[in-house]
Amino acid sequence: MIAPKERVQLFTGASDVVEVDREFPQGLVSLRSLRSPEKDTPNEDAAAIIWLSDDTLVLAVADGVGGTPAGREASNLTVSTLSSTLTRRADESASLRPAILDAIEEANRAVIDLARGAATTLVVAEIVARRLRSYHVGDSEMIVVGQRGRVKRRVVPHSPTGFAVEAGLMDEDEAVQHADRHVLFNVIGTEDMRVEIGGAIKLATYDTVLLASDGLLDNLFADEIVDIMRIGPIDVAADRLVEKALRRMKSNGTSQPSKPDDLTIILFRPNRPRAQRQAGPRDAVAMPA
């Protein structure tokens, strides 16, 4: 039995910079989160690493909607609700899908009940025995990439530009800099919130999974992200993504995308089959600054 305090790591914007690298029986996780370089208020992103068993890991990134009165409160409430719901499940052998959906519904009601116009996006990766399923609301991103750069799964942002790219009416490069990029059809904190669920896919040993707030996608093109995340150790890839995004945030006036914003990413890469690994999580680096 896993002690509850060992199951969950929540990141709720309390530190300006967070860097965590951790090894689980399922694989390696690297998380980076930092406040926008152009603001003094706290980071409105939130994230969670929820280790439920040797076979089961849940990762999540939430991005408080900018301009709402309580974006940070909404994102924090959402990841904390997700973690508490999953860790108190009565039947740990049951499917996670109902519990994750219940948690998102509960978070949506709680954010609405704040009665402050708060809202947040959310993307969740459910990883069970090397099979991944995605859940998302809004425009936080998930991309699954093979070792050679083939995109195996990508969620469609719930936005006009996201739907236009998916329909072939707009290309990726145009969408990144489009004036309506941040218009959203769907967020947590509304009565008509809906959850989009992806079909389960089997992860190969050298696949890499990315979850990210829009601070990454506003500053890097999708092909740049794919090229960086698939090469080398994932902690190095995480650092390279953050460093390049920060350079772009500070390069206003160029033809490249540039939008200062809070930035949170989680990278996951599966381990070799479990029989070849020693069970149990291990901290490589955990250094909020």
Give the domain ranges of the chain: 4-275
Q: How far apart are CA 113 and CA 106, in angstroms?
A: 11
Q: How far apart are CA 134 and CA 154, in angstroms?
A: 9
- 123 beta partners: 61, 136
Q: How far apart are CA 47 and CA 78, in angstroms?
A: 9
| CB count in 10 Å sphere of residue 275 | 5
Q: How far apart are CA 2 and CA 87, in angstroms?
A: 10
pLDDT of residue 176: 62
Write the CA distances from 254 to 63, 222, 258, integer angstroms.
26, 18, 8
Query: What pLDDT tens digit does each residue of the chain (289 aa) get?
Result: 444 456 899 999 888 899 999 999 999 999 999 999 888 888 999 999 999 998 999 999 999 997 676 999 999 999 999 999 999 886 777 789 999 999 999 999 999 999 888 999 999 999 999 999 999 999 899 999 999 999 999 998 867 565 455 556 566 656 565 555 566 789 999 999 999 999 999 999 999 999 999 889 889 988 999 999 999 999 999 999 999 999 999 886 567 777 888 999 999 999 866 544 454 555 544 433 3
Look up tokens 């004036």; give the residue. Answer: 179
Q: How far apart are CA 81 and CA 260, in angstroms?
A: 28
The superfamily CATH assigns to domain 4-275 is PPM-type phosphatase domain (3.60.40.10)
What is the token pair recorded at 48? 């969670």
pLDDT of residue 91: 75
Write the CA distances from 157 to 32, 175, 203, 264, integer angstroms.
21, 11, 22, 17
> Are 188 and 74 spatial neighbours (Cβ–Cβ below 8 Å)?
yes
Q: Provide, for the chain, the percentages of residues in helix, strand and coil under a 3-state DSSP scheme, each rounded to the nearest 5.
A: 30, 30, 40
DSSP, residue by residue, 126-172: EEETTEEEEEEESS-EEEEE-TTS-EEEEPPPSSHHHHHHHTTSS-H
> Are 43 and 32 spatial neighbours (Cβ–Cβ below 8 Å)?
no
Look up tokens 């790219």; give the residue. Answer: 165
